[in-house]
Structures are given as C-alpha cells and as structure tokens.
Chains A and B, each alone.
Chain A
Amino acid sequence: MRRLEGRRAIVTGGGSGIGRASAIRFAREGASVLVVGRAENTMETVDLIRAEDGKALGMVTDAAVEANVEAMVQRSVSDLGGLEIFFANIGVTGTNTPLLEQTVEEWEEVYRINTISCFLAIKYAGRHMTAQRYGSIILTSSAASLRANAGAISYSASKAAVNNLAQTAANAFAGTGVRVNAVLPGLVETQLTRKVFEDARARGIEGKLGHVTPMKRPGRADEIAAAAAFLASDDSSYVDGQMLSVDGGVSSTHPYGRIAL
C-alpha cells in the first residue's frame, strides 16, 4: 500500500530507532521525507531510503531549538515542495537518580527535548498546515506517560505533557483539518533503551525483556513505524487528539510484574 504518495514528511530523531524506521516506512508508502537528527547517522537514514529508490533529504540539527524547527519546515516546503506530515520523535530518557535528589537542570533538559520539541513542531508545522487546511502531526509519547515504573520520573512526566499537547493542540486546531495525535510505544530497542537491552544480554536474561507485557516481548521499531504510518495516512482521518498505545498491552491490563529498567 502506498498511502502517502505525493506527501511531504518531516521525521525528527530520524538517525536511528523509531525515527529511522518511520522515515523508511513513510518513504516506502510514497512520501518524500526530510530526515532530521542531531548526529551523522541522520544521513545514513537518507542513504537507506535512497537505496530503495525513495525520496529523502537530511538535516543535521537539534529539533528542540526554535530556529531549527522553523528552518526545517521552510526546508521541507522549499526543497520537497510542501509539508503534510510532521513526526516529532526526538527524546531523552532522563536519569534514574532518586527523586529527592533530582535537579531542575535535568528536568529542564528533559522537558526541552521531549516536550518543548513537540510544542515547536506543532507551532511551525501547524502554521503551514492550518493555512493549507490539511496535515497530520504525530508526537512520540510513551507507555511511561500512563504508568509509573516504566521509565525515569522526569521522562514519564514530560511524556504525559506530550499526551496533553496532542489533545490541546487538536482542539486548538479545530476547524482547520489538521490532526494531532500521539503514539505511545512500550519497550522498544532504540538508542534510548540500548543500555537496558545490553545489560539484559550481558546478564543472559534477554528473554525476560518485555515479560511484563501480555505479549511477553519487547516491540520493534518497525512496529511503531507502522502505527505512525497509520496516523500519518488518511486511514486515520477521523482520529484526532488521541493517544495510540503500541506497547504489547502493558498499559491496558493489570501489570504482570515489576518492570526492571
């Protein structure tokens, strides 16, 4: 299915993990993709897309800085010819420092990257999309936004704010035809969670990863990408302001056990 034929998409955090998988998936569905990331692996994603005859450009920049987000939207419009999809996907994990010892500096940085980046995506993509009266903005949240003990505290709180942004921005864009939704991954091996997976492998308990979910396994980046593609496409044309959990069932059922992160 090529549901995104002719569409232009920005994917941030596109150098690895969920962002890379989503950029590749969007391109396979026919979209031209502006891949944005802070590191050089951003261009590797562009190469991967081009290697399968997809259309992609890259931008190495911090997607939590206002001027950069404005520049990305301009680049998509000038070099790809428009913008219909923005997947705001950058994130940091925060630390597991005991709560009583956490610092404002850590919280400000986590909020800047996880939450304010989403606000900026909504602001600049929103200006373009509301004017053309069409667009889909997708925000990466997390199962940790709904439950304790699924991530660092600052991370969980910053992602709960992202859920709220999906609702409040959807409402703010009422009547414009622009949709805003959040995707809530469970445990997925990405740059953010690599340590968890590596530790588990080192201890020979890789099979235990994701065992608290009903599906008894962690998710894969391409499974989150498939959900993002659904939210990007017109298959979700009546889905607006929603939180889509893609977590193997961890947020919808009684916990099976404690999550060791």
Chain B
Amino acid sequence: MTPPAEPAHKSNAMRWLPLAAFGLLALLLLAGVILSRDGNREALPSPLIGKPAPAFELPVLHEAGRLVTSQELAGAPYLLNVWGSWCPECRVEHPILTKFAESKRVRVIGYNLKDEHSDALRWLEQFGNPYWLVLTDYTGETAIDWGIYGAPETFLVDGDGIIRWKHVGPMSEATIRDELLPVLAEVEAR
C-alpha cells in the first residue's frame, strides 16, 4: 500500500473548527435564553435618554382651552406617565403609581394618549386621579416625538428638561425602588 501522495486533508486544528464555531453559537444562545427571562425584554430602549425632552404644547384634560408648554414645566423634575382608558396594563400600574404620587417626591404628570375625552375623565373618576396635571394628546403626533409607542410608558425629566429615564410597560414596586428612585436621587442632587 503506497502512502498517499497528498498531504492530510485537514490539519488537526481545522477539524476542531466546527466544534469551536458551535461552542460560540451555543454561548450566544445561552445568552438568549438568559435574556429572555427578563419579562421586559421587548421594551425598546429610548434614544432620547440624556437628550432634551421634545418641546410640546398640549391641552389639559380638566381645563378646556388651556395649553401647557414644556417650558412651563421646567425648573423642577417631573414624571411623565403615558396612559389611556383603553389600556388594561395602566390599570395594573395605577395603584403603584398613585402610591408613588402621594409621596409627593416629584410631580407626576399624566399624558393621556389617543383617548376619548369622556372616557379619560370617567377612567380617572373610577380609579382615582394621581396626577398633578393631565395633558392630552389625541392625535398622537407629540407622542411620536417622544418615541412613545404604547401605554403605559413613563419618563423622568429633570429640571433642565433633559430626559433621564424611561420605562416601558407597567411599573412595579421594584421598578420604582430599584430604577426610578436612584435616578431621581441623582437628578435632585444636581
């Protein structure tokens, strides 16, 4: 049997390449499984964090004819909470939000998105109104500027009008305690 004229088809190192590639893939998939445990994984991170809040001029729910601009709200931080009477998750969030609002730590401003005037009023009557002020955006145009795509969503805007934090989905006690309060503390310290 004559020894083969050609050199080895694959060097030893090359043979381990497929396994190495699979190893990397498996690591990535493991990361995927771990990440998917986070219930809020679908939430889009906001590109507006650290940027000035979009300027707006919106009507107020309870005062027909009055418009509030973003300028008026400057000077002190505020929490902007996007909600609608059509939004079931907002109801879930409501008691937690109310409790936080009652602590009077920061102004909690409601942003009534794509709703009906009467429905919104009824909803607040039924569940309670935790808001310092309720702005309305029924066309959704200003909401696009904020990168809002549903409800509930919550923004923290500091005294200089910069967006510092955003949360998509209903806030829980943990969200407020572990995420919002630290950022709020930072904001207030400046």
Please determine whether chains A and B interact with each other in the same assembly: no
Interface residues of A (CB under 8 A from B): none
Interface residues of B (CB under 8 A from A): none
